[in-house]
Amino acid sequence: VQLQASGGGLVQPGGSLRLSCAASGFSFAHYAIGWFRQAPGKGREGVSCISSSGGRNFYSASVKGRFTVSRDDAKDTVYLQMNSLKPEDTATYYCARSYGSHPIAGLWATPSAYDSWGQGTLVTVSS
């Protein structure tokens, strides 16, 4: 199982970025995928999750309305479109594979509900 997040970088407040999570080594279409972030000195925070069919998505309150998660099963890739970025969005972003097609009930934002993690990609929002 491999997951690789990419697309991070430096962006000004109010700007946009699209992160990608490329997967390999498993039947990607059968798994929910989550996005987490970790700012310096803070714990890992759940940002979003998309179910295997893409029919149900989850967002944290801090990003709802600004971030959009999507997936392309033909490319084994999940995307996180981030708009209206704020300095507090600065963090390393990680993608992770859930244990099944949907996140464990009520635990989509809990790191222990995911069994495989990729290397992160750094997002810096600053003027």
Model confidence over 73-90: pLDDT tens digits?
A: 999 999 999 999 999 999
What residue type is assigned to position 11 of the chain?
V
Model confidence over 50-79: pLDDT tens digits?
A: 999 878 899 999 999 999 999 999 999 999
* pLDDT for the residue numbered 106: 86
CA dist 97 and 113 (Å) reads 9
Q: What percentage of the chain has pLDDT greater than the value 70?
A: 100
- Rounded to an integer, the average pLDDT of 81-106 is 94
CA dist 118 → 38, 115, 126 (Å): 13, 10, 25
* pLDDT for the residue numbered 43: 94
